[in-house]
Amino acid sequence: MITLEQIQAAYPHIKENAHRTPIFQCRSIAERCGMSETSLHLKMENLQRTGSFKIRGALHRISQLSDAEKAKGVVGASAGNHAQGLALAATLGGVKSTVFMPEFASIAKIQATRRYGAEVILEGKNFDEAVAAGKARAAETGATFISAYDDDGIITGQGSVGLEIVADIPEVDTVLICVGGGGLFSGIATAIKALRPQTRIIGVQAKGAPAAVESWRVGRLLPRGEVNTIADGVAIKSPSERTFRYIQEYADDMVTVDDQCIATTMIAMLERAKVVVEPAGAVALAALLSGKVEARGQTVVTISGGNVDAKFLADVIEREMIRSDRYMHFFSSVKDKPGGLAAFLDLIAELKGNIISVVHNRISPSVPLGYTGVEMLLEVRDAEHIARVREGLGAHGYRVEMLD
């Protein structure tokens, strides 16, 4: 296992090429977690170069290559964040990089990886298939395959986050870290437990990719399972034997959060902190917001990444607006005659509903002859406003069928 001294030795090169990301405080987020503003600290790795912590490990791993290895290039596999970190680190080091990404990878992450200088090859339906393809290419060409997490050099570089946390919050009592393959957890936990052994370290996984949590609970690495989560950055079937040793050694607790909690956290960060966070980047904070972890003392939460596709973010926003009673999505019907729809819309305006979209279907089979189906999305203030709109429409003879 790596040591604090190795992390400290790697740090000078890392900080020359990576940002020392800020510790951020947000009163409204802290209050939602049942904490004071001065006790909740967000380590903003979403503001890191390439949009995530991955550049740290990649910078250190590239620096370890011999001249002969550099000449043959490097190969990686990633859903997106390691791809970008490795691409930029290789380019800065004058090394050719090839990155295999799953076919489902975010378009934004694919384009960014190419801009950072890597050759991108889309292969495989999931992360594991992309890894297999990457390892095969490395074996064929003699290039060095650099894992996103199962590599001592990568873990050492990620440990630099832990050095900065303790330097900025010397009395840190609790640190929450998202867990996918376990590389970030391994590095941060190594640094913090060496510098401040009494600090509580908690790993957080997406409920749809829970292998590390389930393995930790039974004390052994379980067989690899399937994953299903919106958090593609942690959608990994299992940690490696290497990273699981760190989880066993350093985790004081391990919890999971579901996709709804992750989405809610993303929107809370966007609305209250004015910061864009990707699903994987929101995982650790989601554990606090959902009550899965009890707030205790000076707490640092790693916001591990901010690389999210714009369309996906828009979808999350719309779904969350409906779930939180900020949107009213419903189906109704109006008389199929001139002015029928206009009268309906006038009534909506009187009820103070702000129309987002209207779908007018004159041949809907679910409405009687002589009527036209109308699917509508309204912006409203809250659940009470929804009730008033429903009551007002009903009073004028309009049926209201709520939609998800």
Same domain, 289 and 223: yes
The answer to whether residue 392 sits within a structural domain is yes
Q: Is 357 a catalytic residue?
A: no
Query: What CATH number is associated with residue 241?
Result: 3.40.50.1100
The answer to whether residue 335 sits within a structural domain is yes
Query: What CATH number is associated with residue 396?
Result: 3.30.70.260
Same domain, 116 and 226: no
Sign (positive/negative) of CA torsion 204, 206, 210, 212? negative
Q: For residue 44, count CB atoms less than 10 angstroms from its CB and return exposed for 0-12, middle for 13-18, buried for 19 or more.
A: buried
Question: Given this model, what pLDDT does residue 387 score?
Answer: 97
Pairing of strands 97-101, 119-122: parallel
Distance in angstroms (rounded) separating the CA atoms of residues 303 and 278? 9
The answer to whether residue 182 sits within a structural domain is yes
Distance in angstroms (rounded) separating the CA atoms of residues 57 and 77? 14
Question: Given this model, what pLDDT does residue 215 score?
Answer: 97
Same domain, 200 and 290: yes
Question: Given this model, what pLDDT does residue 365 score?
Answer: 82
* Cβ atoms of 144 and 135 closer than 8 Å: no
Give the strands of the sheet with 401-402, arranged side by side. 354-361, 371-379, 327-335, 401-402
Can you tell me which residue has the tokens 């904070």? Answer: 285
Helices 279-289 and 259-268: angle between axes, nearest 10 degrees:
90
The answer to whether residue 319 sits within a structural domain is no
* DSSP β-bridge partners for residue 335: 371
Question: Given this model, what pLDDT does residue 391 score?
Answer: 97
The answer to whether residue 78 sits within a structural domain is yes
Same domain, 190 and 299: yes
Same domain, 91 and 216: no
The answer to whether residue 100 sits within a structural domain is yes
The answer to whether residue 264 sits within a structural domain is yes
Please tell me what DSSP assigns to residue 325.
T
Of 93, 127, 150, which residue is a domain's last?
150
Task: Name the catalytic one among 238, 304, 332, 333.
Answer: 304
Same domain, 31 and 68: no
End-to-end CA distance of the chain: 49
Of 150, 182, 206, which residue is a domain's last?
150
Question: Given this model, what pLDDT does residue 122 score?
Answer: 96
pTM, two decimal places: 0.90
φ/ψ bin of 352: left (φ > 0), alpha (ψ from -120 to 50), beta (otherwise): left
Same domain, 41 and 170: yes
Question: Given this model, what pLDDT does residue 19 score?
Answer: 97
Same domain, 379 and 246: no
Can you tell me which residue has the tokens 């550099």? Answer: 70
Q: Is 304 a catalytic residue?
A: yes
- Which contiguous run of DSSP H or E holds residue 402? strand 401-402
Task: Name the catalytic one among 54, 109, 193, 207.
Answer: 54
Of 150, 168, 203, which residue is a domain's last?
150
The answer to whether residue 320 sits within a structural domain is no
Same domain, 230 and 299: yes
| Count of CB atoms situated within 10 Å of the CB of 96 | 17
- How many domains are contained in the chain? 3
Number of H helices, E strands in the chain: 17, 14
What are the CA-CA distances from residue 36 to residues 40, 167, 239, 294, 300 (Å)?
7, 21, 34, 13, 13
Phi, psi of 166 (to 5 degrees): -70, -35
- Which range of residues forms the domain containing residue 394? 325-402
Same domain, 45 and 82: no
Same domain, 332 and 392: yes
Average confidence (pLDDT) per 10 residues, the chain, 404 residues: 98 97 97 95 98 98 98 94 97 98 88 96 91 97 97 98 98 98 98 98 97 97 90 92 98 98 96 95 97 94 95 92 93 94 96 94 84 95 97 96 91
- Rounded to the nearest 10 degrees, how much is the dihedral formed by the CA atoms of 347, 350, 353, 356? 60
Can you tell me which residue has the tokens 């890597």? Answer: 118
Same domain, 211 and 271: yes
